[in-house]
A and B are shown apart, each in its own frame.
Chain A
Amino acid sequence: MKTYITNIGSKLVTKIKGFRITRSVFAYPYVLFMSLFVVAPLVILLANAFISNGQFTFSNFSDLVRDGASLKTLSFSILVGIITTSLCLLIGYPVAFILSKWSSGRLIVLLFILPMWVNFLIRTLSTRYMFEALGIELGIGTLIFGLVYNYIPFMILPLHTTLSNIDKSYSEAASDLGAHSITTFLKITLPLSMPGILSGITMVFIPTISTFAITQFLGGTSAHLFGDSINTKFEHQLYGVGSVMSLIMLALVLVSNYFMRKTNRGEAARNLW
């Protein structure tokens, strides 16, 4: 026994003596941080989803299905997400398109990003006070306004990157072959900007569904999104159901990530981040 311990001791000593600062050493704090604050919570979340009253169970899932309100919120959230994303796309695409044509486009894009540097709580609160001052009642309309206002840079940026990277000679060639400007746009520019559109959609849609601060400030009493429901469940200490809902969110993120990767090999997103 004694020899065994000394054996371990000497092994440890050689290990410590053999310790050298290599490049991978610098990654340890990061790995530690990530496992503590990202991986561990995910594991807890996963465990929580299958535990109720200290026992392994699927009851959290059946609770969620039985509780119609949460599912209704989910479908409502998806609807709001679709509306917000479409509005962002409809406003953002022309903006990005015009900016990519202008030589001063980069500067104006910067102006679009600039508000992002202001804390979004302050921005959202200011929007709320603005509506109150104007006497507009808070509700679904104001909520969508706030969402579009907050997330439109995430639509414009990838679109602008993709659009300004499209070689000008493609549209020249189309025009040369007899295409008018609208035909050129529909047949050349739009299909070539698809990666930007997809990454813009992903970057607006998912955060919209899961947001809860914006709904609390701008949604009034009527509008609740899925993020709010999760928040409420955790506030009421319904960890199990809350975890299941979080897992649904996570699944949505993974699915959209998969599609984004498949269609554009992550190009536009990489440029943005």
Chain B
Amino acid sequence: MTTDKIIELKNVSKSYDEKPVVSSVSLTIKKGEFVTFLGPSGCGKTTTLRMIAGFEKPTSGTIYISGKDMTTSPPYDRNVNTVFQNYALFPHLNVYNNIAFGLKLKSIPDGTFFVDKNGNKFENLRKLTKDEIAAKVKTALKMVDLEEYEKRNVSSLSGGQKQRVAIARSLVNEPDVLLLDEPLGALDLKMRKDMQIELMNMHKKLGITFLYVTHDQEEALTMSDTIVVMKDGIIQQIGTPQKVYDEPANAFVADFIGESNIFSGIMVTDFNVKFCDHSFECVDKGFKYNEPIDVIVRPEDVSILSSDDARAALLATISSCVFKGDHFQITAIIAGGEDYEMLIHDNVNCRPGDKVGLYIKPSDLHIMHKARIINEIVTEMWDTNTVEICGGKFPCQCDLPSGTKVKVSVDFDDVIIYDDENDGIIGGEIVNTIYKGNYYQCVVRTDTYYDFFADTEDEWLKGDRVGISVAPDKILITKLEETI
């Protein structure tokens, strides 16, 4: 084990009541790095942080801190400190005593040695003296610019000041790793920007490893050395901010970080992709021929040309143009197709209705495998012409007898989503919606934790309860051979 790795997670999983929150997370964090866990709420980032801090025990997997297995160690045995989202400053102690709390409990080697009966040599420990504590607290307060606040009651502090005290309280213990759980969430925008810069400066100055949790992609891109993008308890991508932004690993990452156009397409051959009913040259290869893929185009990678420009790969009609300070945000409808929409950031001012040409560099087309191309569920026949899917009885056209093991396939197009849960055969919750140029792809999680992918015309709000049904003739059923 090299000393270079400060934290290592190996296949760490956590579930509450059988419901997985974090699934098989593995990652290494190098000493002195600023790592950010980024993801939407409920993606397991905070739970992962709390497992590193020791507040939660993983259901399975191992956590190494400084090379030692610390999976089940209590928080007080770990040399990591946490800055809580709600600060958690002790209300009955003043600023000084809050910061001194950890120091008063600390024991340090006093330089003398002690040899026990078996000849083992131990270094004697002692508590810090009052003066040492006072000096350290002073330094910590100075670091966060709160020198005059020692005697203040914590309830009399503003949000930003509380935040600083919380950071000072953690850093004064000189931890190997500082864990920050959405520490800037409760601050206003201006304050947040200032604190971001201060945290980055502190990180540079102290050389302590920072592990930061946020759902704010901009914060993550600004501050981190490494970003870990998470969704549904699974790591989607680990990389530098640049890499995560420029080469997102999948449609989710692309959608979550920055704005992007996501289209469904087909990889015709190597270096040739087809989407929006047009063929494009690209730099990707190694896909199967005619494999369905997702194409991601960043709005700033699309250039607007005049419609008669020879380089224009696409012709489009401008539908809106909004001034955004340093660029125009333009929406264009691509001509000759099924009204695909393209979001563009450019410095050209256009008017709605203008006909323009669009150009995208081959290297700016990001092509990725689809997470899934069809919904597939292994289940049983409920009865002849009825199949059980996720606890619901779906009528179908299949004469297999009750109890037969079958595989059910449903196309994304054929999943019907109802506003009212009771209109569908089963209910579910929208967990994700991605706009794909001219339709929305949403993911509906049923009560049995199966994710239905559905292509719909309407946008569904994340977190909404909806009903799901499928027309009987659209349910494709294949009998599974009994395997023993």
Instruction: Please report the C-alpha to C-alpha distance between residue A173 and residue B84 in the assembled complex, in whole angstroms.
Output: 8
Count how many chain B residues have C-beta atoms less than 8 Å from C-beta atoms of the other chain.
22
CB distance from A93 to the nearest CB of B (A): 18
CB contacts between A and B, total, < 8 Å: 57
Per the bound structure, the CA–CA distance linking A178 and B53 in Å amounts to 12
Picked from B88, B106, B170, B173, the residue with its CB within 8 Å of the CB of A172 is: B88
In the bound complex, residues from chain A placing their C-beta under 8 Å from that of B75 are: 172, 175-176
Encoded as 1 (CB less than 8 Å from any A CB) or 0, chain B from 182 to 199 comes to 000000000000000000
Assuming the A-B contacts A170-B90, A191-B92, A192-B91, are A176 and B82 also in contact, with contact meaning beta carbons closer than 8 angstroms in the complex?
A: yes
B69-91 interface bits toward A, Cβ cutoff 8 Å, 1 = contact, 0 = none: 00000111000111010101011
Tell me, yes or no, whether A169 is within 8 Å of chain B by CB. Answer: yes
- B169 neighbours in A (Cβ, 8 Å): 177
SS of A interface (majority): helix
Most buried by B among A167, A169, A174, A176: A176
Residue B437 interfacial (CB < 8 Å): no
Chain B residues whose C-beta falls within 8 Å of the C-beta of A174 in the assembled complex: 90, 101
Closest 6 CB pairs of A and B: A177-B102, A169-B88, A173-B88, A175-B75, A178-B105, A191-B92
Q: CB of B449 within 8 A of chain A?
A: no
Q: Which residues of A have CB within 8 Å of B80? A: 176
Q: What 0/1 readout, one digit per residue, does chain A (167-190) give for beta carbons within 8 Å of chain B?
A: 101101111111110010001100
Residues of B within 8 A of A170 (CB): 88, 90-91
Q: Is B55 an interface residue (CB 8 A)?
A: yes
Residue pair A175, B74 in contact (C-beta under 8 Å)? yes
A179 in complex: contacting residue of B55, B76, B88, CB < 8 Å: B76
Name A68-121 residues within 8 Å CB distance of B: none
Given known A173-B82, A183-B105, contact A178–B76 (CB-CB < 8 A): yes
In this complex, how many residues of chain A approach chain B with their Cβ under 8 Å: the count is 17
Q: With A and B bound together, what is the CA distance between A111 and B173 in angstroms?
A: 45
* Residues of A near any B CB (own CB < 8 A): 167, 169-170, 172-180, 183, 187-188, 191-192
Partner pick for B102 among A169, A172, A178, CB 8 A cutoff: A178
- Taking CB atoms, residues of chain A closer than 8 Å to B82 are 172-173, 176
Bound complex: CA A174 to CA B90 (Å)? 9
Chain B residues near A191 (CB, 8 Å)? 92
Contact of B76 (CB < 8 Å), options: A167, A175, A187, A188: A175
0/1 per residue, B156-186, Cβ < 8 Å to A?
Answer: 0000000000000110010000000000000
Contact across chains for A178 and B106 when beta carbons are under 8 A apart: yes
20 contacts between A and B (CB under 8 A): A170-B91, A172-B55, A172-B82, A173-B84, A173-B90, A174-B101, A175-B75, A175-B76, A176-B54, A176-B75, A176-B81, A177-B81, A177-B170, A178-B76, A178-B102, A178-B173, A179-B105, A180-B74, A192-B91, A192-B92
Residues of A within 8 A of B74 (CB): 175, 180
CB proximity of B64 to chain A, nearest CB, Å:
19
How far does the alpha carbon of A188 sit from the alpha carbon of B105 in the complex, in Å? 13
Measured between beta carbons, the chain A residues less than 8 angstroms from B170 are 176-177
